[in-house]
Structure 1
Amino acid sequence: MPSFERVAAAAEAREASPQVVTVGGRTIGLFYHEGSFYAVDNRCPHMGFPLSDGSVEDGILTCPWHHARFELSCGDTLDPFADDVTTFPVEVREGEVYVDPDPEREVDPATHWQERLEHGLRESLPLVIDKAVIGLDDAGVDPAVSLRIGTAFGTEYRQDGWGSGLTTLAAMANLLPDLRPVDRRRALAVGLGAVADDCAGEPPFFVQDPLSTDRVSAERLTEWFRDTIEVRDADGAERVVRAAVEAASTPHEASEGRRPSGNRSTTGDGATGEAGLDESTLATMFVAAATDHRYLDSGHQLDFVNKAFELLDRIGWEHADAVLPSLVPGLADASRAEERSSWRQPVDVAELVEDAADDLPDLLARGEGTTWTEPEGFVDRLLGDDPHAVVDALTDAVAAGATGAQLASAVADAAARRVAQFGTANEFRDWNTVHHTYTYANAVCGLAGRTDDPALYRAVLDGAVSVYLDRFLNTPPIPLPTPDGDADPDAVLDDLLKTFEVEADETVGRAGRHTAEYLASGGDPARLKRALGEVLLREDAGFHPRQNVEAAFARYDAGRGRVHPVATARYLAAHTPTRREGEQTFRIAERLNRGEAIHEA
């Protein structure tokens, strides 16, 4: 039952409108307009300014700070940047005004904030997105819900398909377990904001129907997909992908013309596919198409593929029919490294990779049944100045039984060394060159856990050649830190955090040394990750630093040594501090959530 409380004498309220009253612990603006009383939350939902200082005309309440307008009777806003203001039932009884401060709402908080998140994404409104993330978290909603909303929006409202926004969202999702609880909200807001930015002003993604056939083998679908990407036929490739996803998620027995599957793939809704197509087969399709040509879009496209698969792991594979087709436009339109002079002159490294790829069937046959252990100094060989020797090191390892996952990890270690030993005398934009190789190598590691197809070795070879091409950015190489291992980890961590507050070349070296010393002195790696995550999320870090930190955490968690956190600490130090505009917006959203008066000193 409604619980009305007296707030004012009606005659007085008519003469002194608006009034500010407190009822049920709420501060409410009481307005008399055109013969009726209205009660609204006195805090403007946009930035918290007191609405009692606003003006009312023709049933519209206008906040004087940013001129957000609200329909007085229901609280709905006329301006997309502002949330709807909460209204309260009012009754006049025997000359007294009563307000119900806690009415039953038609929409529960979780539903309300999901709707607000969708609105913030559509309008690309950072404050609305931040408030929605905080509201959903306060309502106890699983982060996967926000991820699904962001993924659905990003795949539907960008004609060019998967891009940096969805990649950022996937990277932030991967970071969540490593962050402080308070920073998990920030990470979600950062990822969702990146999706909104990437889609702002873009035409939508127009969906192609899947091929209707259900009598095509996995091998044939993969062949068709590669052929369509080869000739840059995005529409044809999309139809093939949708047919493959549909076959992988539909339960049925293998029919004529299909290769029986040796394992079952369970999608997020419990369906299983037995048509020779499963998640591994889908990964093989994309890796094959993405490695038919060299190092697409400076490595971004393969990284996008890996991030799409990782995001599906978190939101559920029942969303594959929306996510995987969004990768097609980028793959079809990607620049191909063999078309660049750096891959052709003075050494034709593209041909070197292609020749090695042609030898893969024989090399794999020679290595079948044998076990390869990474020899000491193997990563140093990958960092050598002779591309033939680099490729030979890898092909010899394949012939000795090395798996794609083993070689991918070694190449990622070599790429991390390029970042960790990057000289600040280089042009600042060259940080991106070594970064792209690193995130590409990390993507190959991720995909190595999904497919063992020979195409994966081509990705390994591309990554190794990119490491080779980056060698001049380590001329001379900055020495790797040699920590004493007897420092106070707390003090070292404090010194590390200070390096991110100063913009200077020397702080880059300090960041690497402090990170190495912290770990060598017994510092808790989880605490280090929380600290680096806090730095990343408070800054306007941009796409590349977010990628870099997430990749470094993944490789360190895989047991590949402290060179990865050292590398990302140096990279992060080179890109901080920033203006922290995003952090300011998020703090405003937090203060509004706590009921603080932002407009007051």
Structure 2
Amino acid sequence: MPSFERVASAAEAREASPQVVSVGGRTLGLFHHEGEFYAVDNRCPHMGFPLTDGSVDDGILTCPWHHARFELSGGDTFDPFADDVRTFPVEVRDGDVYVDPDPERETAPEEHWRERLEHGLQESLRLVIDKAIIGLDDAGVEPTVPLTTGATFGTQYRRMGWGSGLTTMSAMANLLPDLRPADRRRALAVGLGAVADDCAGEPPFFVQDPLSTDRVAADRLIEWFRDTIEVRDADGAERVLRAAIEASQTPREAGEDADLDEAALVRMFVAAATDHRYLDTGHRLDFVNKAVELLDRIGWDHADTVLPSLVPALADADRAEERSSWRQPIDVAALVEEASDDLPTHAGAEATWTEPDDFVDRLLDDDPHAIMDALTDAIEAGATGAQLAGAVADAAARRIAQFGTANEFRDWNTVHHTYTYANAVCGLAKRTDAPEIYRAVFDGAVSVYLDRFLNTPPIPLPDPDGDRDPDTVLDDLLETFEVEADETVGAAGRHTAEYLASGGDPARLKRALGEVLLREDAGFHPRQNVEAAFSRYDAADEEERGRLHLVATARYLAAHTPTRREGEQTFRIAERLNRGEAIHEA
């Protein structure tokens, strides 16, 4: 039952309207307007300014700080950037004003914050998104909930489908286990904010119906998909894909082969994305990998929402064999085609090949023929796609770790694209043993070769003594991210290597790098780079190989920091509001 408490005499409240009253542990604004009394939470839901400092006219309460407007009787806002203000029942009894400080909420906190998250995405409002992520986390909601919301929104409201926003969100989700608990919701906010930015002002994605075929074999659907992508028929490819997804989710009778499963869907994309070379500087295959990683988190029952969003850009992709760098002075595209003609049926179910000690060095050779020979010899000896993808990723990390700062700054993107592509091939190679994985490996190796001029001369890899205090080294490393200078890039790599060689905890190092990444306006590429490096470090079977990836990403991060940290400021405002702090009081 409502529990009303006296807050003021009616006469005083009429004369001194508005006024601040405290009741039931709450601070409310009490207003008398047009003969009625109204009580509202005195903190403006936008940024916490006292609403009693505002004005009321024609039943509308206006906050004076950012001019958010609220319907006084019900609290509904007129402005998308502000949440509704909470109102409280008021009664007048025997000349006194009573307020119920604890009325029943119309919506549970989880439902409220989910609605606010959707609203923040629709309007691309970072503060609203940040507050919603914090609210959901405080309500004990698992990360899969906002991730699913982001996936649904991001695939529905961007005509060209999956882009950098959803890739960022998936990467941030992958980082969660490596972050400080306090940074995990910040990572989700970064990811959801990137989705909102990517969709802002974009036309929606219109869904095609699946083909109504019944139980078509997986190989036939894969061929249809490849054929439609080949001729850039995005609508036809989407219909084929949706038919495959529908078939993969259809229950089968006992004893019937499940030839259409998650692995077949992955193969469908890998095959189409490797029929031509290194699509869109590697982004297409990287986006495929991030999409399937996101499905691992939110559930493959969302495949019909997520996977079709990959089709438009895949059909429209730039093909590397059409660029002169892949044709002259050496036709490296032709080398890949020749090597692809003789591939085994499967990319090695079980490894029968042991990687030679100098194999990564051979992948960094100046002769592309020697590189392709090394790969094809390894395949003949039984190397799996996953083994070779890992070696190419190590070679790509070397390009970043030895990148010379005398190059143009934008050339960081060149070595970065190769690296994230190679990491994507590693991820996809764990999901399918289709021979097309080898073609992706070849493309990655060629891109590593084409990046060789960015290691001219190569910066020496750090060779630390390992006799310093790890805490001191970590402090030195963190200082490199506070200064914008070429020399800090090399210092970041040396400090990272020294920290690990001195017995520093790799998990602590990753938490520190994650904290740096999330506080900066890092942008798409650094977020990709750090996530890929953590993934490759975890996959490394030798400490030295794993260290290379952390050294490389520390250098890359140092080259892109510090920034203005606008996103950090917005998130801190959201955190302070959540704690009830008075933002306007500095």
The bucket for the TM-score relative to the shorter chain is: over 0.9
Structure 1 residue 368: Cα displacement: 8.8
Q: Is the 8 A contact 1:306 1:443 kept in 2?
A: yes
Q: Which amino acid aligns with 2:270?
A: V
| Match in the other structure for 1:190 | 190
After TM superposition, the structure 1 = structure 2 runs for residues 292-441 of structure 1, keeping only pairs within 5 Å, are 292-361=275-344, 371-441=352-422
Structure 1 residue 253: Cα displacement: 3.1
1:565 corresponds, among 541, 550, 559, to: 550
Structure 2 SS opposite 1:83: coil
Task: Report the more deviating stretch, 440-449 or 211-220.
Answer: 211-220
Distance in structure 1 (CA, Å) of the matches to 2:498 and 2:102: 56
**Residue 287 (1) aligns with residue 270 (2):** yes
After TM superposition, the structure 1 = structure 2 runs for residues 137-176 of structure 1, keeping only pairs within 5 Å, are 137-176=137-176
Q: Is the 8 A contact 1:441 1:463 kept in 2?
A: yes
Q: Which amino acid aligns with 1:593?
A: N
After TM superposition, the structure 1 = structure 2 runs for residues 521-536 of structure 1, keeping only pairs within 5 Å, are 521-536=502-517
**Residue 495 (1) aligns with residue 476 (2):** yes
Distance in structure 1 (CA, Å) of the matches to 2:378 and 2:433: 15
Q: Which amino acid aligns with 1:361?
A: P
TM-aligned CA distance change 1:593 to 1:370, over 3 Å: closer
Distance in structure 1 (CA, Å) of the matches to 2:214 and 2:328: 46
Structure 1 SS opposite 2:61: strand
| Match in the other structure for 2:537 | 556
Distance in structure 1 (CA, Å) of the matches to 2:351 and 2:585: 71
Q: Write out per-residue CA displacement over residues 197-216 of structure 1, whole angstroms, 9 at most, x where no aligned residue.
A: 00000010000000111131
Distance in structure 2 (CA, Å) of the matches to 1:227 and 1:36: 70
Q: Is the 8 A contact 1:368 1:401 kept in 2?
A: no
Distance in structure 2 (CA, Å) of the matches to 1:369 and 1:543: 36
| Match in the other structure for 1:266 | none
Structure 1 residue 359: Cα displacement: 1.6
Structure 1 residue 369: Cα displacement: 7.6
Q: Is the 8 A contact 2:470 2:503 kept in 1?
A: yes
**Residue 45 (1) aligns with residue 45 (2):** yes
Q: Which amino acid aligns with 1:283?
A: V
Q: Which amino acid aligns with 1:571?
A: Y
Q: Is the 8 A contact 2:19 2:31 kept in 1?
A: yes
What runs of 5+ residues in structure 2 fail to find an aligned partner? none
Structure 1 residue 22: Cα displacement: 1.0
Q: Write out per-residue CA displacement over residues 33-65 of structure 1, whole angstroms, 9 at most, x where no aligned residue.
A: 111111111111111111100000111000011
| Match in the other structure for 1:73 | 73
Structure 1 residue 191: Cα displacement: 0.2
| Match in the other structure for 2:25 | 25
**Residue 215 (1) aligns with residue 200 (2):** no
TM-aligned CA distance change 1:479 to 1:95, over 3 Å: same
Q: Is the 8 A contact 1:515 1:569 kept in 2?
A: yes
Distance in structure 1 (CA, Å) of the matches to 2:401 and 2:272: 31
Structure 2 SS opposite 1:283: helix
Distance in structure 1 (CA, Å) of the matches to 2:526 and 2:139: 31
Q: Which amino acid aligns with 1:145?
A: V
| Match in the other structure for 1:248 | 248
Q: Write out per-residue CA displacement over residues 375-431 of structure 1, whole angstroms, 9 at most, x where no aligned residue.
A: 011000000100000011000000000000000000000000000000000000000
Distance in structure 2 (CA, Å) of the matches to 1:37 and 1:23: 16
Distance in structure 2 (CA, Å) of the matches to 1:59 and 1:237: 55
| Match in the other structure for 2:490 | 509
Distance in structure 2 (CA, Å) of the matches to 1:471 and 1:296: 20
After TM superposition, the structure 1 = structure 2 runs for residues 101-140 of structure 1, keeping only pairs within 5 Å, are 101-140=101-140
Identity of aligned residues (%): 85
Structure 1 SS opposite 2:584: coil
Structure 1 residue 130: Cα displacement: 0.2
Distance in structure 2 (CA, Å) of the matches to 1:555 and 1:369: 21
| Match in the other structure for 2:7 | 7
Distance in structure 1 (CA, Å) of the matches to 2:463 and 2:78: 61
Structure 2 SS opposite 1:360: coil
1:455 corresponds, among 416, 420, 436, to: 436
Task: Report the more deviating stretch, 545-554 or 209-218.
Answer: 209-218
Task: Report the more deviating stretch, 246-255 or 228-237.
Answer: 246-255
TM-aligned CA distance change 1:369 to 1:330, over 3 Å: closer
Structure 1 SS opposite 2:29: strand
Q: Is the 8 A contact 1:370 1:400 kept in 2?
A: no
1:593 corresponds, among 559, 575, 578, to: 578
Q: Which amino acid aligns with 1:322?
A: T
TM-aligned CA distance change 1:370 to 1:157, over 3 Å: closer
What runs of 5+ residues in structure 1 fail to find an aligned partner? 262-273
Distance in structure 1 (CA, Å) of the matches to 2:469 and 2:350: 48
Structure 1 residue 26: Cα displacement: 1.1
Task: Report the more deviating stretch, 380-389 or 21-30.
Answer: 21-30
Q: Which amino acid aligns with 1:582?
A: G
Q: Write out per-residue CA displacement over residues 84-126 of structure 1, whole angstroms, 9 at most, x where no aligned residue.
A: 1111111111111111111111100000000000000000000
Structure 1 SS opposite 2:546: coil
**Residue 478 (1) aligns with residue 459 (2):** yes
After TM superposition, the structure 1 = structure 2 runs for residues 199-214 of structure 1, keeping only pairs within 5 Å, are 199-214=199-214
1:519 corresponds, among 500, 516, 519, to: 500
Distance in structure 2 (CA, Å) of the matches to 1:471 and 1:369: 32
Q: Is the 8 A contact 2:366 2:452 kept in 1?
A: yes
Q: Is the 8 A contact 1:48 1:592 kept in 2?
A: yes
- Compute the TM-score of the two structures, normalised by the length of structure 2: 0.98
Q: Which amino acid aligns with 1:317?
A: W
Q: Is the 8 A contact 2:215 2:247 kept in 1?
A: no
Distance in structure 2 (CA, Å) of the matches to 1:230 and 1:20: 68
Q: How many residues were matched structurally? A: 582
TM-aligned CA distance change 1:449 to 1:127, over 3 Å: same
Distance in structure 2 (CA, Å) of the matches to 1:316 and 1:551: 22
Q: Is the 8 A contact 1:539 1:576 kept in 2?
A: yes
| Match in the other structure for 2:260 | 277
TM-aligned CA distance change 1:368 to 1:105, over 3 Å: closer
